[in-house]
Structure 1
Amino acid sequence: MHIEIDGRPVTDESLRTPAFVNYGHFTAMQVRKGRVRGLGLHLDRLDSATRELFGSGLDGEHVRALVRHALDGAGVRDAATRVYVHRPDGDETTTVMVTVRPPAVMPEAPQSLMSVPYERPVPHIKHLGGFGQIYYGKAAQRAGFDSALLTGPGGVIAEGAATNIAFWDGTSVAWPDAPALLGTTMALIEPLLPSVRRRVALEDLPSYRAAFVTNSQGIAPVRRIDDTEFAVDAELMKTVARVYDAVPWDEI
């Protein structure tokens, strides 16, 4: 992993805040040939969350320059890149940490999800401190599932542990109308599909024909949630993939 903070190589001192302060936020991007799908959404996310958490914005051009610098420092054009925003106690300015790792792709195999009684706090922000998501995600894996599905009171479905989820009723793609993070991939493809927002609870699952999950790594079908089996709708997944593939890549 290549790490830079405010465009400089990390030191023990500069890592003190990221290591010990869990108040902050981030965005995760897949970079290919120095480009990102939905770059504007990532920059808007960082700016709005910085305003809410710290009371001032974060300039998108500054972020782009830091990401370009980190990619150049790592000597790569394809990467899984994250941008973390902190503000050390007593400081009036934020620090921006950029990490660069090898590219990642969503596994193509249909996923199995275990529902868990957990909702992320302040879910509209991609914040740090995802203990609950990690805890339940590992519990799901120990139980033989791929990941966890986060639900609220009454089994109302919100999101995956690290994904958004959508359901296909044969006519519409239904995105759960519950507090959740609006992922960039969801934000890019939702307007391009016959989408609706509606309440979806665990008891409603048998009424849906198929499901899929999305995140910055891509899209994958869902084959099972708890004991409810879903067929992989090949035509639906072709349509979703075609829509996603048509989304333009933005130069960083």
Structure 2
Amino acid sequence: MHIEIDGRPVPAEDPLVVPAFFTYGHFTAMQVREGCARGLALHLARLDSATRELFGSGLDGGHVRQLVRGALERAGVRDASTRVYVYWAPDAEAATLAVTVRPPAVMAEAPKSLMSVPYERPVAHIKHLGGFAQTYYGRAAVDAGFDDALLTGPGGVVAEGAITNIAFWDGESVVWPDAPALLGITMALLEPRLPSVRRRVTLEGLGAYRAAFITNSQGIAPVRRIDATEFAVDEALMKTVAEVYATAPWDEI
């Protein structure tokens, strides 16, 4: 295989060739503070499970931790936004792992507006690569004056945000949509710690909920609008969710 980038030949054996040209893979994203991450065991289990499903072989969590520690040390930081990517090139004997280290990030607490779009992620339970439609619809939502996109299925069934999970408050329970979606790590930490239920949520039925919020690895934020449906920001709810999330321990990498 002969490869050129911007007119410059690149050796086919260059390790960067795999992530550049093979998009069959998966990843996890975590916030690291003082060399620790919330829900680390969940991140490692996610990587192992997806690697088994996609490639038929598990992934050693100790090896992943070693790679992340090394990347943080070489970057000279202990606070970061870190991702671990897992690729498997055709005819390869083992997975290729890539670790990225970027400045730490926190989700802005300003209430979000979401534009519903008719799209559900394929193989939604895996945090896989190649999310073209998520990026496309996310950009379209911003161009339309919203903060992000809300992915929905046939009949307006709410699934998840473009890069978030979404939850609704009915006055008694936190309702997580019962639809194909990724179980985000923040959602996985919050769901058993809150009075949670899973329920079919539709765009037509949004008026039944008092409030909504989104979650991802960067944190939690209230939702103020989905399409034309307005939501009040329930300060007591958001305070409770934030306090519950704060109880999730930080695990040393």
TM-score range, shorter chain: over 0.9
* Percent identity (aligned): 76
Q: Which amino acid aligns with 1:251?
A: E
State the Cα distance separating 1:169 from its structure 2 match.
0.4
Report what 2:139 is aligned to. 138
Show structure 1 runs of 5+ residues with no match: 1-10
Shift of 1:237: 0.2
Q: Distance in 1 between matches of 2:196 and 2:85?
A: 31
2:8 paired residue number: none
Deviation at 1:65, TM superposition (A): 0.4
Deviations 1:11-70 (A, max 9, x none): 981111101111000000000000000000000000000000000000000000000000
Q: Normalising by the residue count of structure 1, what TM-score does the alignment of the two structures yield? A: 0.95
> What CA distance in whole angstroms lies between the structure 2 residues aligned with 1:102 and 1:165?
25
User: Could you tell me how far apart the structure 1 residues matched to 2:153 and 2:252 are?
Assistant: 38
Q: Are 1:45 and 2:80 matched, yes or no?
A: no
Runs of 4+ in 1 over 4 A off after TM superposition: none
Alpha-carbon distance between aligned partners in 2 of 1:88 and 1:223, rounded to the nearest angstrom: 43
CA spacing shift, 1:206–1:68, aligned 2, 3 Å: same
Q: Aligned residue for 1:84? A: 85
Matched, 1:106 2:131: no
Residue 62 in 1 paired to residue 81 in 2?
Answer: no
The corresponding residue for 2:160 is 159
Query: Which segments of 5 or more consecutive residues in structure 2 lack a partner in the other structure?
Result: 1-11
Displacement of 1:87 in angstroms is 1.0
| Alpha-carbon offset, residue 92 of structure 1 | 1.6
Is 2:234 the partner of 1:230?
Answer: no
Q: How far has the Cα of 1:122 moved from its partner?
A: 0.3
Q: 1:174 & 1:107 partners in 2: Cα distance? A: 22
Please give the TM-score of this superposition, normalised by the length of structure 2. 0.95
Contact 2:24 2:87 in 1 (8 A): yes
Query: For 1:174 and 1:89, how far apart are their aligned partners in 2?
Result: 42
1:238 deviates by 0.3
The DSSP-based 3-state class of the residue aligned with 1:236 is helix
Structural mapping, 1:167-246, within 5 Å: 167-246=168-247
What is the alpha-carbon distance in structure 2 between the residues aligned to residue 55 and residue 12 of structure 1? 24
1:115 is aligned to 2:98: no
Give the 3-state SS of the residue equivalent to 1:196 in structure 2.
strand
Q: How many residues align?
A: 242
Secondary structure, counterpart of 1:104 in structure 2: coil
- Counterpart residue type for residue 17 of structure 1: V
Separation in structure 1 between the aligned mates of residue 227 and residue 77 of structure 2, nearest angstrom: 40
Which residue does 2:5 correspond to in 1?
none
Distance (whole Å) between structure 1 residues aligned to residue 89 and residue 122 of structure 2? 22
Q: Is the 8 Å Cα contact of residues 48 and 58 (structure 2) preserved in structure 1?
A: yes
Alignment of 1:128 with 2:125, yes or no, is: no
Q: Distance in 1 between matches of 2:185 and 2:13?
A: 33
In structure 2, the partner of 1:250 is 251
